[in-house]
Each structure stands twice: as structure tokens, then as C-alpha cells.
Structure 1
Amino acid sequence: MKTHKHFHFSIGVVAYPLFFVLLIWIVFWAEVRFNFKFKDYGIYPQTMKGLRGIVFSPLIHGSIKHLASNSVPLLVLSMALFYFYRSIAWPIIIYGILLSGFLTWCIGRPSYHIGASGLIYVLVSFIFFKGVFAKHYRLIALSLLVVFLYGSMIWYTMPIEKGISWEGHLSGLITGLLFAIIFKKSIAKPKKYVWEQPDYNEEDDPFLRHFDENGNFIEHLESEEDMEGEPTKINYIYKKSED
């Protein structure tokens, strides 16, 4: 049963991010194939019509280069999100799109803001700060990996290049940080072993009393293999791995 659940979990980690990336490619294909103008459905700040772009803008891209540059980080980061933060992955994505889009609508220039980069910045920011707040080596390692791969993206939260929605990037960065604080209780905590408990006394541990100072099992076992009366010695490391 455990294997069955793990199988479905693994499928979800890959399937959901892959579906979203495939969806934005289908939207771009339909726009080119049927000569649609989806750009008008992007976020146009401080206009009522532009509010619809909060929902639709992540699906719309201006060029094949724009689409390709967003596809890989979106796939990698969303897979990391579903793997490490499965219980809150969907709220992060859905509310991340809505909140970062609304912030873009509030502070953006009077132009159409399109693309999934706002969501990408939400994921980069959330995964990084979440790992820092967690103080858990696996999540910190994930944060360092994100910095290594996408750390240079921080420069694009400032108006350094014409034609790039730095407002959308900045909104995503702020949203991710905010979510890392709001969802702080959902941080995965490292497991504590019995010997890490404050009231642990090694001399009272009934399990360790069966081993000598070299880690060998010294208690006689009541089995056919132990009828000769010799202590059965089992290396502690192997014994632990079998459990």
C-alpha cells in the first residue's frame, strides 16, 4: 500500500508541472496557428479591463524565445514545489498567480504584462526563503541550489532592460517572500531520533543494552541457530539497516 501511494505521489510531482508547461505551449501554438491576439488578455495596470490579465497572463507569451526561457525554470521549480511542499503546492501556485498579478496591476507601467515569469519569481522566492526559515539541511540545500541556478534573476526585478516586466518580477519576489512567512507552520521539520531528546539517558535504553562498546550484538537468541551457546554477533550498522 505504501508503494502504491508513493507511486501516485511521484506521478503528481512530474505530471502537474508538465501539464502546465504543455498548456502554455498549446496556447502559444493556437495564437500563432489561428492568428489570435492573446496579448490583449495580459495585465494592463490600473484599468478594469486589465484585471482579467491577472488570470490569463501566465499563459500568454510574446515570442518563442520568451516561451522557451520560461518553460525550463517553471518546470524545474514547480516540480521542486510539489516534491518538497506537496500539501501547500496548489495554494502557492494559485494564490501566487493572483497576488503577484494584482501587485503587477497596481505598480506596473501602462503596458500589457504577459508571461509566466511572475509565477517563476514567486517559486524562486518562496523556495529560497522557505528553506532559510526551515533550518533543515535538505531545504537549505534546495535553497542554495535555487540561488546557484536562478540567483542572477534578482537583477531583473529592477528596470535594467527595456521590454521586460520588472514590475511583474518584483511582484513575484515579494509574493514568494510573503508566502514563506505565512506558510511558516508548514515547514518540514527534521526528525529527531530518540537519543536527541532532552530526557534521553543512554544507560536506560533497552535497545543499546544489547550491544557492546564495539557495536556488536551480545544477547543470546533463543533459536536453532544459537543452540551452541555462543553469542550471536551482528554488526550494529547492518542491524540498523535491516530495520
Structure 2
Amino acid sequence: MASRMTRLLSDSRDALFTMLGVQAVIWAVQVLNWLDDYGLSRELGLRSERIGDLPEMFTMPFLHFSWEHIEANSWPLFVLGFLSAYRGMRKFLLASLVIMVSGGLTVWLLESPNTVTAGASGMVFGYLGYVVLRGVLDRNVLDAVVGVAVAAVYSTILIGVLPVTPGVSWLGHLGGLIGGMAAAFLLRDRPAEQRAPKAAAPDSPGAALLKQLDDLGIQDAPGPGRQV
């Protein structure tokens, strides 16, 4: 029990510093973006249907179109990002990658042609889906409590996955949410009997590979700018 608590505290500290670092980067980029009259958002935001713009799905979350835009995203990004990361950084990084790709591809495939999309709220919706569904899938009391609390506090923002606000990319929100839920399923904890490499000897290469996959949480897993 003591070792588990120590590990949880260590992971929570890493999660806190990680999200503080992410916030520092986003706000530093915002200052540069503002000084450039938001040219960075127009240049490095994601344009739909352009093959050359696909890498921008990884820069899009760090860019915003106004101070109000970044202020609206910063607090939920910090809270939900921390709650996604406090159980371990490896799963958090993998979940973040899935969310970025899912949200980015949704925008790239379905958004209006030549529309530029930028903003971190796709990640916000992704972390929301990840934290809530993780609480359902994992047999962990703490995750379940966190998931219920997050669902109660943030459920009202789910209106953002509907096309009701002009100038806001609901597709980015929806793609991020889908990515977060997919990540929760792919990275879910396994029962002990499923995790054990029964068919491989403890020191065999197969056992080592199964252990690495298990550590990663993926063993046996099946025009105008728009802000997100």
C-alpha cells in the first residue's frame, strides 16, 4: 500500500509539472502569435483537405486566435490533462497522441475546404472522454470517483460537439472526444489473469515482449479560421 501511494504521489507530481510546462509553452506561443497578428495560427493551424498540412494536427493544439480563446481553453486543459496524467506519464502521452490524431483527422477530412482550425479544446474534449471512460473501464476506485466527478462538472460542455456555435470547430471537439474514448479503451487496465504471459517462460523473449506491451497498456487491445 505504501509503495502504491508513493508511486501515485510521484506520478501526480510528474503530471503537475508536465501540465505546467504545457501551459507555459502554450502561453509563450500565444504571446509570439499575438505579436505576429496571429500569423502563426494561420500558418501552422490545420487546413482541411491539404496533404501537406497533415503534420499541423500536432501544432494546432498549441495555437489560438485570441486571448479569450486561450483563456477559455487553459483551465480545463490543465485540470483534465492533470487528471489524465496522474496515473502515469506513458499512458498519458499515448492517449494524447491518439487524441491529436483523431481530432486532427476528423477536422482534416470533414471541415470545410481551406478552413484553418487551431486551438486546444479538441484536447480538452479528448481528455474529458479519456478520464470519464477510464473510470468506467478500469477496476480502480479512485479512477471511478474521478470519472464520476469529471462527468458531473464538465458534462455541460458536451454541447460543443454539436454545430451550434459559429466560428467554432465542433468537428475538432467531436474528433477529440472520440479519440479520448478510444484511448481509454485501448489503454485500459487488464485483470491480473489476462496480464500474465501464460504461454511464455518468465525469462523468454516472448515474456519480455508481453511485459513491455502490458507496461504500455496496449496488450491484446483490439476560408475563415475555426477555433477549438
Identity percentage of aligned residues: 22
2:207 corresponds to which residue? Answer: none
The answer to whether the aligner puts 1:122 opposite 2:126 as a matched pair is yes
Equivalent residues of 1:128, 1:146 under 8 A apart: yes
**Alpha-carbon deviation of 1:57?**
0.5
Residue 120 of structure 1 deviates from its aligned partner by 0.9
- Change in 2 beyond 3 A, CA 1:18/1:186: farther
- The RMSD of aligned alpha carbons is 2.4
Residue 25 of structure 2 corresponds to: 23
Residue 177 of structure 2 aligns with an amino acid whose one-letter code is L
**Counterpart of 1:52 in structure 2: which amino acid?**
P
SS at match of 2:116: coil
Larger gyration radius, structure 1 or structure 2: 1
Tell me if the contact between 1:134 and 1:187 (Cα under 8 Å) persists in the aligned partners: no
Among candidates 14, 34, 39, match of residue 12 of structure 1: 14
SS in 2 for 1:177: helix
The residue that corresponds to 1:90 in the other structure is 93
Residue 109 (structure 1) shift = 2.1
TM-score by length of 1: 0.70
Q: CA deviation at 1:89?
A: 1.0
**CA 1:187–1:12 in 2, change beyond 3 Å: closer, same or farther?**
farther
Normalising by the residue count of structure 2, what TM-score does the alignment of the two structures yield? 0.74
SS in 1 for 2:117: coil
Corresponding residue of 1:143: 147
SS at match of 1:84: coil
Moved more, 19-28 or 39-48: 39-48
The aligned residue for residue 77 of structure 1 is 80
* Structure 2 CA distance for partners of 1:165 and 1:186, relative to 1, 3 Å: farther
Given that 1:57 and 1:116 are in contact with CA atoms closer than 8 Å, whether structure 2 keeps it comes out as yes
Structure 1: 5+ residue stretches without partners: 189-243
Aligned length: 188
